[in-house]
Chains A and B, each alone.
Chain A
Amino acid sequence: MKSKITKDEIIALAKLTKLRLSDDEVEQYTNEISELLTYFEQLDKLDLKDVEPTISVGATHSVTRADEVREQVTTPDELMNLPPKKQDDFVQVERMI
């Protein structure tokens, strides 16, 4: 059976999603994702003419509130406990370029 997705496409996807894959993993994900895409072909048999897409099944209206300072869920100090690297009051990351 012809694969629904190529190894090159998997390598491109890994790059987009910031994942590094070994050659074995490229092979494995090519097979697995190809199988899933084949499985999804069953959606083609539905008659979806004039059917609108559903995005959410909950409340979908915009919620607004007055712009007032209120009790905070977390304090800045608590948030600053989270990043793995920091210096003084700054989150530290590796150089970007």
Chain B
Amino acid sequence: MSQSSVAVFSWPKINDIALSVADGSMTAVANVEKALSLIREYDNTYHAILSTCEELALEKAKKIDDMVASGEWNAEEYPLLGVPFIAKDNLLVKGTETTAASNMLKGFVAPYTATAVQRLENAGAICVGKANLDAFAHGGSTENSDFGVTKNPHDTGRVPGGSSGGSAAAMALGYTPFTLGTDTGGSIRQPASFCGVVGFKPTYGRVSRSGAVAMASSTDVIGPITSNTEDTALIMSVMSGKDELDSTTIDSDPNEFRNVSDKKSVTVGVVKELLSDAVAPEIREEVEAAAQAYRDNGHKVVEVSIPTIDVALATYYVLVPAELSSNLSRHDGQRYQYSADDTATLEESYEKSRTSGFGREAKRRIMLGTYVLSSGFYDAYYKKAQKARTKLISEFNKAFETCDVLLGPTTPSVAFKIGELTDDPIQMYAQDIMTVSVNLAGLPAISMPVVRNSSMPIGVQIIGQHKKDAQVLEVASLLEGRES
């Protein structure tokens, strides 16, 4: 892996930024101003950012600088001291507009802050802006954003991926040292792959979902997008852990992410079903190159089969619309700012608000989800998909009896052209074919970038065992520093 060539600014590693703010050689205010000036200067071209929170961010930065100057503080409590970041705009940051890139939430100012963001800010990090996404995180290209598509920094005629496309593009450009995304079916890993950055999807429940605009509650997870695994580990060490505001969160050892550089010998399983003919040859080659890199470093590489991966996409697109049709019912024009004008009855207000507030993709998914949950079809679709999910999980478990981690591509192709797939939902959904099975099983996984000269980046995916997030980062770190 080489440093992304499209970066407009190269930040030091996050730990080094925090240290330089701590020793006074850099200030939090200067870091925040730098990030904001990069966004101002470059984002007209890329449209990765929906809004900045300049005043709030500078106020928080000033507080940090004052605290450092006072000398009355404990460095151990602030591993992210003065580090600016950008959050996907489906994460609540108190006092900032949070739209989920949908007209439905236009004007909605978050009344509280997402737990994940709060933990980062408690550790000294500062949110400076909100990144574009497909509206309500439905999509793989940001083309479903109600506020315009984000351009891929490697080729502005192409999509950045999605749904966390703004976060991935912002990271590739180097606006901030890290960004946050959410991953329901690949929404961190696929755009990270398209933009040539490191995208990590934690184990389900590792990071609290409190304050994330809900999509599919049984697979949604928040994760970091960075330029290297060391930064990913640092962010995860701060962000993860049990939260009483999300009862699905799991216990975490805070030290787990501290020593991810241990290089123990592992068995890497190359997943046969992830290397089908649907995958572009150049991407298969990069997966093979990664496998070879592991062999060269003394690790064992074997082939494994997880047959139900072949129907994981169908399983996912039954379960996720079902869950989101329920989650999006709260957007009724009465609660969150947006409401249609000129309505005479409550029923009319519901209908007009939802009809004008939701885009085409959300409507399709809401109706599909309602259909598969309806009494006549529940067993034929929803329950069947839930059973397929069980089968998939048991096959992953079996693979992990012989393998420590699994290896495959992140996407079947490199970033596609803007407009190329918008009229074909199944082709667009097929973008998620390499990533959804990981969400259905709740596993941790990372997309590691292969940035190439004069062609679009490729992502190699490493999938780990339930709760073994640190091991994924450890194994992934071996792919860093290679030249393609």
Give the total of A residues in contact with B, Cβ under 8 Å. Answer: 54
- Smallest Cβ distance from A29 to chain B, in angstroms? 6
Given contacts A43-B385, A46-B311, A65-B244, is CB(A56)–CB(B218) below 8 Å?
yes
- Smallest Cβ distance from A70 to chain B, in angstroms? 10
Chain A CB within 8 A of B334 CB: yes
A10 CA to B368 CA in the complex, in Å?
9
Contact A54 B390 (CB under 8 A): yes
- Smallest Cβ distance from B395 to chain A, in angstroms? 11
Contact B204 A19 (CB under 8 A): no
Contact A73 B318 (CB under 8 A): no
A44 CA to B383 CA in the complex, in Å?
12
Residues on A with beta carbons closer than 8 Å to the beta carbon of B244? 63, 65
Contact A43 B315 (CB under 8 A): yes
Secondary structure at chain B's binding surface: helix, strand, loop or mixed?
helix
Contact A43 B245 (CB under 8 A): no
Given contacts A58-B248, A93-B346, is CB(A36)–CB(B425) below 8 Å?
yes
Chain B CB within 8 A of A68 CB: no
The residue from B354, B358, B367, B391 contacting A10, defined by CB atoms under 8 A apart: B367
Contact B425 A32 (CB under 8 A): yes
Contact B385 A95 (CB under 8 A): no
Given contacts A13-B367, A51-B387, is CB(A82)–CB(B111) below 8 Å?
yes
Contact B351 A53 (CB under 8 A): no
Residues on A with beta carbons closer than 8 Å to the beta carbon of B325? 17
Residues on A with beta carbons closer than 8 Å to the beta carbon of B358? 19
Given contacts A13-B367, A33-B371, A53-B386, is CB(A81)–CB(B344) below 8 Å?
no
Contact A48 B384 (CB under 8 A): yes
Contact A83 B387 (CB under 8 A): no
B349-369 vs A, Cβ < 8 Å mask (1 yes, 0 no)? 111101100100001101110
Contact A48 B391 (CB under 8 A): yes
Contact A53 B334 (CB under 8 A): no
Residues on A with beta carbons closer than 8 Å to the beta carbon of B393? 54, 57
Chain B CB within 8 A of A74 CB: yes
A residues 57-74 with Cβ under 8 Å of B? Answer: 57-60, 62-63, 65, 73-74
Contact B391 A46 (CB under 8 A): yes
Chain B CB within 8 A of A79 CB: yes
Contact B314 A52 (CB under 8 A): no
Which of A16, A39, A84 has most B Cβ within 10 Å?
Answer: A84
The residue from B310, B314, B337, B354 contacting A40, defined by CB atoms under 8 A apart: B314
A54 CA to B387 CA in the complex, in Å?
6
Given contacts A33-B364, A53-B390, is CB(A42)–CB(B346) below 8 Å?
no
Given contacts A29-B364, A43-B318, is CB(A83)–CB(B334) below 8 Å?
yes
A33 CA to B390 CA in the complex, in Å?
25
Chain A CB within 8 A of B270 CB: no
Contact A17 B367 (CB under 8 A): yes
Contact A93 B349 (CB under 8 A): yes
A82 CA to B112 CA in the complex, in Å?
12
A3-14 vs B, Cβ < 8 Å mask (1 yes, 0 no)? 001000110011
A93 CA to B325 CA in the complex, in Å?
23
Which of A19, A79, A81 has most B Cβ within 10 Å?
Answer: A19
A5 CA to B374 CA in the complex, in Å?
13
Contact A53 B364 (CB under 8 A): no
A83 CA to B358 CA in the complex, in Å?
18
Chain B CB within 8 A of A89 CB: no
Contact A94 B348 (CB under 8 A): yes
A95 CA to B345 CA in the complex, in Å?
5
A28-40 vs B, Cβ < 8 Å mask (1 yes, 0 no)? 0100110111011
- Smallest Cβ distance from A20 to chain B, in angstroms? 4
Residues on B with beta carbons closer than 8 Å to the beta carbon of A88? none
Chain B CB within 8 A of A55 CB: yes
Residues on A with beta carbons closer than 8 Å to the beta carbon of B219? 57
Contact A53 B247 (CB under 8 A): no
A96 CA to B23 CA in the complex, in Å?
62
A35 CA to B249 CA in the complex, in Å?
36
Contact A16 B370 (CB under 8 A): yes
Given contacts A19-B355, A91-B334, is CB(A5)–CB(B371) below 8 Å?
yes
- Smallest Cβ distance from A39 to chain B, in angstroms? 6
Chain B contact residues, CB within 8 Å of chain A = 108-109, 111-112, 204-205, 218-219, 244-245, 247-250, 308, 310-311, 314-315, 317-318, 325, 329, 332-339, 343-352, 354-355, 358, 363-364, 366-368, 370-371, 381, 383-391, 393, 425-426, 440-442, 466
Apart from A85-B339, A94-B348, list 12 A-B contacts with CB within 8 A.
Answer: A18-B351, A37-B371, A42-B311, A43-B315, A51-B390, A54-B393, A58-B250, A65-B244, A74-B111, A83-B337, A96-B346, A97-B345
In order of increasing CB-CB distance, the 3 nearest A-B pairs are: A57-B442, A58-B248, A53-B386
Q: List 15 A-B contacts (CB under 8 A).
A: A13-B367, A19-B363, A19-B366, A29-B363, A40-B385, A46-B308, A46-B384, A51-B390, A56-B218, A57-B440, A73-B112, A83-B335, A84-B337, A91-B335, A97-B345
